[in-house]
Chains A and B, each alone.
Chain A
Amino acid sequence: MQHRLKVAAGITTLALAAPALAGTAVAQQQDYPPPSNPGSVQKKPKGPFKTLEVSKKGKFRTIQAAVNAAKPGDTVKIADGVYKESVQVAGAKHRFIKLVGNVKQPHKVVLEGENKRQNGITVNGADAVTMRGIKARRYKANGFFAVNVTGYAMDRLIAELPGTYGLYAFNAKGGSMTNSLSYYAADGSYYVGQTPEQTRPVQTIIRNVVGWGSVVGYTGTNSRYVTITKSKFFNNALGLAPNSLDSEKFPPDEQNVFRDNDIYWNNFDVYQKAPYKPNVNEDFIYPPGVGAILLSGRDNRFEGNRIYGNWLGGFIGVPNVFLKNPADQPLDRNIVSGNTFNKGGADMNGRDMVYNGSGTGNCFGGNTGVMTTVPAAPEVYPACPNTAKNVENGEPIGLMLSWAVQKQYRAGWIQHPHAAQAGMEPLVDWAEGKSYGPTTLK
């Protein structure tokens, strides 16, 4: 009985810990447009298309002025420089617009938030807008934000020190985030959430992006149909955190694919010292030291990733038992397969996999280099395919309780030396002047 109580208490804390991250978005929601159904893609414009040039000496001095003058499908070409504005691209009359800065050197076209503007670029209800070759710096909320849209393209973007998310899509059907960099996000470097359920889903593709120095590299609440591949998430508190919450519509998160990514060195103790104030509830935290955590969700796949040097755990799977719909709570049919742990023993996770056996049909097949699991019981980690109910075990929940609520995550760290990587240092306790990750795109 005591054991059961402990399990329940641990789950409670997890259920509460996750909204800590979402909480900032809620706190600022008066600044956000209300969600609406993105519906079918808006009609593709036929042209002829114009290019509107933005520069300090040109016809358009601000990006917003050019956007306001642009017709659907037009290109807004932004010259190198610093633009102190918060750009709104709203409504079908601005669909298919392309905002293009310096594609080769995005850091030369800077949107400056000065820690007082909300979002760098907000695309609301305008489908298939492209943002390319732009850097957004020090916005209170988000760098690049697409909401209530069917399709968007974020490519060759840099987000530095966003108050919440770097590249952010909410209530969107499909879209892409590619070849981009986001760092020092006070919440997530990348976020895709509240994806409407679709009969013929439009996939969101996140490819070749880098997220470092943030509370979470990628986080998505109730996200679905997202593929994240060929990307790097390192030197965050947590690398990946797909999750399911009632604070947003459409739980749980499902049908996401995390494939062929590098998830390492996620031990940044943002609660000790960071170049920003992390967005967390004071009582509950996301514990530093986690490669990937799946908080409820079904039909997600973690495949072919390289997971190493995360001192609490490489992969963690736990349920959010406080989701209103009990059917949404368990982890069901998730696949953790073909991943490589511990970099051949050169750069070890504290624990490779931590899973409490929630749900049915979850499987763990063909992973290489796995040295430690919690619990150590192999029956909790059945091979793929698996259609049976998983075998529950309370041990992981006890650990999560101490890490996330009692904030004893540092005590939970099993520290191993890291294998050196050129040009950057492992980030645990942040200090000025060190190179923890790239700040420009090659």
Chain B
Amino acid sequence: MKRGIDRRGFLGIGAGAAFVCTIGGKQVVLSEPGDAAKADAAARNVKRPKALAAQAGTGMPAGAPAVASQQFPTPTPAPGGRVREHWIQAVTTDWDIVPKRKDEWHGEKVAGPTKFKAFVYQEMTSGWASPLAPARIPGPVLRAEVGDLLVVHFRNADEELEQAVTMHPHGVRYNPDYDGSFLGDFTRAGGFVGPGESFTYRWEATPDSVGVWPYHDHGPNHTLNTFRGLFGGLIVYPKGAKAPDLERLLFLHVMQPPVTGLKRSFQCINGKAFAGNTPTIQAKVGQDVAIHVMGMDNEFHDFHIHGHRWKDPSGHFVDTPTVGPNETITARFTEDNPGRWLYHCHVFSHQDAGMSGWYDVTP
């Protein structure tokens, strides 16, 4: 018997919209389940930029402005700073958006297929010898203090999608060699890391880097790859600052049928949908809590925690601030209200399609 679509399924479909990717100068419309394959095919055919002959910007096309061929010194930590080294690989992995098959908020089953092939950043030991953590959405949290140098050894270890990817950070300082962006003929070495290849990014944590920022793929197929999981967060603390007692990063993003190949959209937090599947945050009364929330899709979201208020950067109390694509807001407060609380996006169609989770506070 064919089942009708329920209210949340309807909202899920409603939230699933077509989008357009520009891949190597070609526009690809993704509107149906399975359309990701069209984008992947286009990404596979993106030719390696000629300028990649050397990292230092040589080999730029004839007539290129001089600004494109500049050379830059290799960054080092500031005096007193340290090198923070990471080994990260990009891999595809089988990913279940609703592993419990249940929305614990409403106590209802979630029907239908929920698995797809995600593309993620995975933290590894040195030499990419072994995983330090499972392949998952989001990628590892990179932490630094002002003055430190983040040295990220990045490897494109995926063998299925056959396309170049990168790591492009926000917030930190870098010269064009470490931008991690595909720029057509003006691409530098870190902007096109082909299958099997690796590149070491060097990012500086400067005083204006303090904060919480995303990083994501910025290669030829960046939109699709970011939508299917190639993103993570980095945190830069003031020198010597005390970290919060409890610090969590939440990414709000939609998983649409053209990306996942599934029938419906899921409004996700860290790659999962519906309370009980999304992160359950556990706090204690008295803790200094910081929940950093980033948008990682084409939508704006309203982040709401029941039973809690905090100050926005202007000093006003809020409980449902808006966060846009690749923007960060932080809910920081001293916990004083025990109980099981819900957190969710307050865009109604998002909350009902999965963008919700538990916030548990014990006395």
User: Chain A: residues with CB nearer than 8 A to chain B?
Assistant: 40-41, 44, 151, 174, 198-203, 205, 207, 225, 227, 229-230, 256-257, 259-260, 301, 303-304, 385
Across the interface, name the chain B residue whose C-beta is closest to A226.
B127
With known contacts A41-B196, A200-B198, A385-B83, A227–B129 Cβ distance under 8 A: yes
Q: How far is the CB of B71 from chain A (nearest CB, A)?
A: 14
24 pairs of residues in contact across A and B, judged by CB atoms under 8 Å: A40-B48, A41-B196, A151-B196, A198-B197, A199-B54, A200-B193, A200-B198, A200-B199, A201-B198, A203-B127, A203-B155, A207-B129, A227-B127, A227-B128, A229-B130, A230-B129, A230-B130, A256-B127, A259-B130, A260-B125, A301-B126, A301-B127, A303-B125, A304-B125
Does A202 lie within 8 Å of B82, measured CB to CB? no
Q: How far is the CA of A261 from the CA of B194 in the complex (A)?
A: 29
Q: How far is the CA of A44 from the CA of B45 in the complex (A)?
A: 12
With known contacts A199-B54, A385-B82, A260–B130 Cβ distance under 8 A: yes
Contact of B197 among A202, A205, A256 (CB under 8 A): A202
Q: How far is the CB of B160 from chain A (nearest CB, A)?
A: 12
Q: How far is the CA of A205 from the CA of B157 in the complex (A)?
A: 11
Q: How far is the CB of B131 from chain A (nearest CB, A)?
A: 12
Q: How far is the CA of A198 from the CA of B155 in the complex (A)?
A: 13
| Chain B positions within 8 Å of A207 at CB level | 129
Does A229 lie within 8 Å of B189, measured CB to CB? no
Across the interface, name the chain A residue whose C-beta is closest to B85.
A385
Contact of A259 among B82, B127, B196 (CB under 8 A): B127
Q: How far is the CA of A201 from the CA of B194 in the complex (A)?
A: 10
Chain B 312-336 against A: per-residue CB contact (8 Å), 1 yes, 0 no?
A: 0000000000000000000000000
| Chain A positions within 8 Å of B35 at CB level | none
Q: Which of B125, B127, B199 has the most CB of A within 10 A?
A: B127
Does B55 lie within 8 Å of A203, measured CB to CB? no
Contact of A200 among B130, B162, B197 (CB under 8 A): B197
Q: How far is the CB of A257 from chain B (nearest CB, A)?
A: 3
Q: How far is the CB of B47 from chain A (nearest CB, A)?
A: 11
Considering only CB atoms and an 8 Å cut-off, how many residues of chain B contact the other chain?
23
Number of CB contacts from chain A to chain B under 8 A: 61
| Chain B positions within 8 Å of A202 at CB level | 196-198
Q: How far is the CB of B330 from chain A (nearest CB, A)?
A: 31
| Chain B positions within 8 Å of A260 at CB level | 125, 129-130
| Chain A positions within 8 Å of B195 at CB level | 41
Does B128 lie within 8 Å of A205, measured CB to CB? yes
Please give 14 more A-B residue pairs, beta carbons under 8 A apart, in addition to A40-B48, A257-B129.
Answer: A41-B194, A44-B162, A174-B196, A198-B197, A200-B194, A200-B198, A201-B198, A202-B197, A202-B198, A203-B127, A205-B128, A227-B129, A229-B127, A229-B129
User: Chain B: residues with CB nearer than 8 A to chain A?
Assistant: 48, 52, 54-55, 82-83, 125-130, 155, 162, 189, 192-199
Q: How far is the CA of A267 from the CA of B189 in the complex (A)?
A: 45
Across the interface, name the chain A residue whose C-beta is closest to B129.
A229
Does A199 lie within 8 Å of B198, measured CB to CB? no
Contact of B126 among A174, A200, A303 (CB under 8 A): A303
Q: How far is the CB of B162 from chain A (nearest CB, A)?
A: 7
Q: How far is the CA of A259 from the CA of B129 in the complex (A)?
A: 7
Closest CB pairs A-B (n = 4): A257-B127, A227-B127, A229-B129, A200-B197
Q: Which of A44, A200, A256 has the most CB of B within 10 A?
A: A200
Q: How far is the CA of A202 from the CA of B195 in the complex (A)?
A: 9
Q: How far is the CA of A223 from the CA of B192 in the complex (A)?
A: 24
Q: How far is the CA of A385 from the CA of B148 in the complex (A)?
A: 13
| Chain A positions within 8 Å of B55 at CB level | 199
Q: How far is the CB of B57 from chain A (nearest CB, A)?
A: 12
| Chain A positions within 8 Å of B125 at CB level | 259-260, 303-304
Q: How far is the CB of A393 from chain B (nearest CB, A)?
A: 27
Across the interface, name the chain B residue whose C-beta is closest to A150.
B196
Q: How far is the CA of A304 from the CA of B126 in the complex (A)?
A: 10
With known contacts A40-B48, A151-B196, A385-B83, A203–B128 Cβ distance under 8 A: yes
Q: How far is the CA of A256 from the CA of B126 in the complex (A)?
A: 10
Across the interface, name the chain A residue whose C-beta is closest to B154.
A200
Q: How far is the CA of A260 from the CA of B124 in the complex (A)?
A: 13
Across the interface, name the chain A residue whose C-beta is closest to B127.
A257
Q: How far is the CA of A205 from the CA of B126 in the complex (A)?
A: 12
With known contacts A41-B196, A44-B162, A174-B196, A199–B52 Cβ distance under 8 A: yes
Q: How far is the CA of A230 from the CA of B131 in the complex (A)?
A: 13
Q: How far is the CB of B84 from chain A (nearest CB, A)?
A: 11
| Chain A positions within 8 Å of B130 at CB level | 229-230, 259-260
Across the interface, name the chain B residue whose C-beta is closest to A227.
B127
Q: How far is the CA of A127 from the CA of B39 in the complex (A)?
A: 26
Q: How far is the CB of A75 from chain B (nearest CB, A)?
A: 17
| Chain A positions within 8 Å of B48 at CB level | 40
Q: How far is the CA of A389 from the CA of B195 in the complex (A)?
A: 37
Across the interface, name the chain A residue whose C-beta is closest to B89.
A203
